Amino acid sequence: MVRTYKCRVKLSMSGHEALSRVFGMCATLYNTCLEERIDCYKKTGESRSYYDQCKALTEVRADDPEYASISVQVFRGAIGRIDKAYKSFFRRVKTKEKAGFPRFKSSRRWRTIEINDQCWRMLKREGNKLVLKIKGLPRMEVKSSRELPPSRLLKAIHITRKPLRTEVALSYDLPTPEAKPVSNPVGIDMGILKRLTLSDGETVEKREIDHRKIIRLQRSVSRKVKGSNNRRKAVALLAKEWQRLTDGERNYIHRLTAELVKMYDFIAVEKLKTKNMLWDRNLARSISEQAWGKFAALLNEKAESAGVKMVEVDPRGTSQECSSCGAEVKKSLSIRTHKCTCGLEMDRDLNAAINILHRGISVVGRKLKQSRMAGRMKMKRADVGPVRPRTVEITV
Q: Where are the domains of the chain?
A: 2-173, 179-205+250-396
pLDDT at 394 over 50: no
Measured distance CA(16)–CA(302) in Å, rounded: 34
pLDDT over 90 for what percent of the chain?
Answer: 34
Burial zone of 227 (CB within 10 Å; 0-12 exposed, 13-18 middle, 19+ buried): exposed
pLDDT-based confidence at residue 58 (cuts at 50, 70, 90):
very high
pLDDT at 288 over 60: yes
Return phi, psi of residue 169, to 5°: -105, 120
Q: Span 286-311, mean pLDDT? A: 86
**pLDDT bracket for residue 388 (50, 70, 90):** very low
pTM, two decimal places: 0.78
CB 173 within 8 A of CB 155: yes
Mean pLDDT along residues 287-313 = 86
Asked whether the predicted pLDDT for residue 374 surpasses 70, the reply is no
Q: Compute the average pLDDT of residues 75-94.
A: 92
- Measured CA distances, 128 to 20, 125, 339 (Å): 28, 7, 61
- Distance between start and end Cα atoms, the chain: 18
Helices 50-63/72-94 angle, 10° precision = 150
Q: What is the pLDDT of residues 336-371, one digit of tens each?
A: 888 888 878 888 888 888 888 888 888 876 444 444
Flag whether pLDDT at 283 surpasses 80: no
pLDDT of residue 365: 61
Instruction: Convert the pLDDT of each residue in 35-50 to its tens digit.
Output: 999 999 998 888 889 9
Cα angle 250, 252, 254; round to 5: 70
383 alpha-carbon distance from chain centroid:
43
| Cβ pair 288, 278 in contact under 8 A | yes
More confident residue, 278 or 222: 222
| pLDDT given at position 387 | 36
Radius of gyration, alpha carbons of the chain:
26
Question: What pLDDT digit, counting tens, does each position of 104-116 carry?
Answer: 998 888 999 999 8
Average pLDDT taken over every residue of the chain: 84
pLDDT in tens, 149-188: 888 888 999 999 998 889 999 998 888 888 877 778 888 8
Q: What are phi and psi of 372, to 5 degrees?
A: -60, -35
* Residue-wise pLDDT tens digits, 225-246: 998 999 999 999 999 999 999 8
**Residue 65 CB partners (closer than 8 Å, separation 6+):** none
Query: Phi, psi (5° rounding) for residue 361?
Result: -70, -35
Q: Are strands 123-126 and 166-173 parallel, antiparallel or unpaired?
A: unpaired
The CA distance from 352 to 28, in Å, is 53
Question: Parallel, antiparallel, or unpaired for β 123-126 and 185-190?
Answer: unpaired
pLDDT band at 376 (very low <50, low <70, confident <90, very high): very low
At 205 the pLDDT is 86
Percent of the chain with pLDDT over 70: 92
**What's residue 384's pLDDT?**
37
Phi, psi angles (nearest 5°) of residue 195 = -60, -45
Say what the pLDDT of residue 315 is: 83
- The topology (CATH level 3) of 179-205+250-396 is Nucleotidyltransferase; domain 5 (3.30.420)
